[in-house]
Amino acid sequence: MMCVLRNSTYCMKVSMSLTVEESEDGLCFSSRIRYQERAEITKSKMISCRDIDDYLAPYKQPIMTWYKECQKKEWRSSIIINTTSLWIPEVQEDDGGNYTCELKYGSRVVRRTTELKVTELRHRANPQLTAAESIG
C-alpha cells in the first residue's frame, strides 16, 4: 500500500503494509491482533489504549468507552478510567481478561484490545538464618 502524507510545505510518499482483521464470531476483537500485558495480584496496573493518538482530535474531548470481554461493565469504584487509559490500583485475580477501548470519531470507530494475564505475586526469598545467627 502506498500512502501520501502532505501539508502546505511538505509531501512524502510512504510504503507500508496493512493488515485488516475481522472480529471473531461473538467478539469485538481478533485475538491475532491484541496486545498482551501481565499484572501481579495486589499490584497496580495501567492499561493504555495504545496506538490511538493519530485518531485524537486536538482540543476535543474524545468519546472513549472501555469494555471487558466485549461487554460494558460496571467498574468497581477503585478503578480509574481517563481519556486513554484504565488504571487498576490493586489487581485481583478476576481482573484478567480482554480489555477493549473504543474511540468514536465522527461516524467511525477505532478499537484496541489488550489481554491482561494476572499472575501470582512474586515473593523474594527470605535469607535463611543459620543456627548460630538465630541464637546470638
CATH number at residue 77: 2.60.40.10
How would residue 9 be classed by pLDDT, with cut points 50, 70 and 90? confident
pLDDT digits (tens, 9 = 90+) for 93-103: 999 999 999 99
For residue 21, tell me if it sits in a domain: no
Domain count for the chain: 1
For residue 89, tell me if it sits in a domain: yes
Q: Can you give the pLDDT at residue 56?
A: 83
For residue 64, tell me if it sits in a domain: yes
Q: Which residues pair with 48 in a beta bridge?
A: 85
Q: In what order do the strands lie in the sheet with 80-81?
A: 45-48, 85-88, 80-81
User: How far is the C-alpha of 44 from the C-alpha of 9, rounded, in Å?
Assistant: 45
> What is the pLDDT averaged over residues 28-51?
93
For residue 86, tell me if it sits in a domain: yes
- CB within 8 Å of 81: residues ≥ 6 apart: 66, 75, 87
| Tally of CB atoms within 10 A around 98 | 18
* Position 132 pLDDT exceeds 90: no
Its domain, for residue 100, covers 29-121
* 109, 102 contact by CB (below 8 A): yes
pTM equals: 0.76
* 78, 89 contact by CB (below 8 A): yes
The SS3 of residue 34 is coil
User: How far is the C-alpha of 51 from the C-alpha of 84, rounded, in Å?
Assistant: 10
pLDDT digits (tens, 9 = 90+) for 81-117: 988 999 999 999 999 999 999 998 778 889 999 999 9
Q: Can you give the pLDDT at residue 113?
A: 96
The SS3 of residue 54 is helix
> What is the pLDDT averaged over residues 20-39?
88
H/E segment holding residue 38: strand 35-40
For residue 22, tell me if it sits in a domain: no
